[in-house]
Amino acid sequence: MTALRSLSFTAALLVSSLVAGPLSASELNLYTTREAGLIQPLLDKFTEKTGVKVNTVFLKDGLAERVLAEGANSPADLLMTVDVGNLVDLVEQGVTQPTASEALTASIPAQLRDPDGHWYALSLRARALYASKERTDLTSFTYEQLADPAWKGKVCIRSGQHPYNTALIAAMIAKHGEAKTEAWLVGVKENLARKAGGGDRDVARDILGDICDVGLANSYYVGLMRSGKGGAEQEQWVAAIRPILPTFAGGGTHVNISGAAVAKHAPNKDNAVKLLEYLVSDEAQALYAEANYEYPVKPGVAGAELIADLGPLTVDSTPLIEISQHRKAASELVDKVGFDD
């Protein structure tokens, strides 16, 4: 049985135990695309503290399609996924409902949640710069510098159409407009050391291999590679780089999120909100950070020790909802300049 088939089979078994309509007062149904190994310890802690049982359906993809197919009888109470684009898509497909909570608004900065209360960020992943320890002496960087001719033939990056980069390009549009972002994208393409593609960890691999000197990749991969969870080879890759938190010129660091939304027909809405509020508590935020090396969304909670050398994260103040509105234009610019060609 393949891993995907196994996952689907497991999900089917779990779903079979879910019944539309209110559960007992001490249960809720969570649909999530997050990995079980990451989220389950947090759910176990929630149940331990509150007595509320969480029935979880782990999905690889098709979250909105599943809830839409279930319609008004859907047993889903809370929908959890990654990438602000996916959360906005859930809202636009009509499978969420607004939620008001003082605990959530007090814990999550305004630019990291939906202004109408449909979704809330739960953790942050910064778009970081990986720089060669041997061939650079960088200690700071701006995203705009990536198009500087000084880096010609020295930049590695994954596809411009990947959501991580599309979100960054959308943020660039929000800050500088489409014309300047197009010029920036052309400059970055001219600086590429290889065709845009691969994964974020491949940037560290290719810096070790002397293919490039710098590249963009998410911050939490630094922790994953250092942890040894990816094997000894990845520990060698990450040892070759100096991770830096870039900023926009005059701004902060671009972040994307994991987040969640209360389902439109949630039969157990109160428990769904209770879980959301727990996930932004100091305890849960610290667990998030140590489990997957993402940054806490709640100010004042320390990040993981393994990425402490990146320094404090100053999140760019551009609202994620504004960035999400430029995703389509960002994707079109990637094609227009032939970034992935």
**Between β-strands 53-58 and 241-244, what pairing exists: parallel, antiparallel or unpaired?**
unpaired
Q: Are residues 291 and 195 in the same domain?
A: no
221 is in an annotated binding site: yes
- Lookup: tokens for 235: 């520990």
**How does pLDDT run across 270-284, given as a tens digit for each residue?**
999 999 999 999 999
Instruction: Report yes or no on 308 lying in a domain.
Output: no
H and E: helices and strands count for the chain: 14, 9
Q: Are residues 230 and 174 in the same domain?
A: yes
Q: Are residues 179 and 241 in the same domain?
A: yes
Residue in 241, 190, 181, 235 with CA at minimum distance from that of residue 216: 241
What total of structural domains would you count in the chain? Answer: 2
Instruction: Report yes or no on 214 lying in a domain.
Output: yes
- Lookup: tokens for 118: 């449909």
Q: Are residues 87 and 213 in the same domain?
A: no
Q: Could you list the mean pLDDT of each consecutive 10-residue stretch along the chain, which spans 341 residues?
A: 37 43 75 90 94 95 95 97 95 96 97 97 97 96 98 98 96 98 98 97 98 97 95 98 97 96 97 97 93 94 94 96 97 98 95
Residue 147: per-residue pLDDT: 98
Residue 17: per-residue pLDDT: 42
Q: Are residues 222 and 326 in the same domain?
A: yes
Cβ atoms of residues 292 and 220 within 8 Å:
yes
Q: Are residues 294 and 146 in the same domain?
A: no
Q: How many CA atoms, within 13 angstroms, populate the side-chain half-sphere of residue 248?
A: 20
Residue 310 backbone dihedrals phi, psi, to 5 degrees: -70, -15
**How does pLDDT run across 117-130, given as a tens digit for each residue?**
999 999 999 999 99
Q: Are residues 330 and 181 in the same domain?
A: yes
The residues with which 259 forms a beta bridge, in sequence order, are: 81, 121
Q: Are residues 246 and 287 in the same domain?
A: no
Q: Are residues 108 and 222 in the same domain?
A: no
- Lookup: tokens for 244: 């830096």
- Lookup: tokens for 236: 């060698």
Q: In this structure, what CATH number is given to the domain that contains residue 133?
A: 3.40.190.10
Instruction: Report yes or no on 21 lying in a domain.
Output: no
Instruction: Report yes or no on 219 lying in a domain.
Output: yes
Q: What angle do CA 199, 201, 207 make, to 5 degrees?
A: 110
Instruction: Report yes or no on 105 lying in a domain.
Output: yes
Domain span at residue 184 reads 125-253+319-337
Residue 225: per-residue pLDDT: 97
Instruction: Report yes or no on 312 lying in a domain.
Output: no
Residue in 286, 312, 310 with CA at minimum distance from that of residue 298: 286
Q: Are residues 166 and 242 in the same domain?
A: yes
Q: Are residues 198 and 81 in the same domain?
A: no
Q: What angle do CA 271, 48, 269 make, to 5 degrees?
A: 5
28 residue type, one letter: L
Cα distances (Å, whole numbers) of residue 255 to 9, 29, 117, 218, 311 = 34, 28, 20, 9, 15
Residue 24: per-residue pLDDT: 56
Residue 61: per-residue pLDDT: 87
Instruction: Report yes or no on 12 lying in a domain.
Output: no
Q: Are residues 329 and 209 in the same domain?
A: yes
**How does pLDDT run across 133-161, given as a tens digit for each residue?**
999 999 999 999 999 999 999 999 999 99
288 is in an annotated binding site: no
Q: What is the largest CA-CA distance in the chain?
A: 63
Residue in 192, 99, 184 with CA at minimum distance from that of residue 142: 184
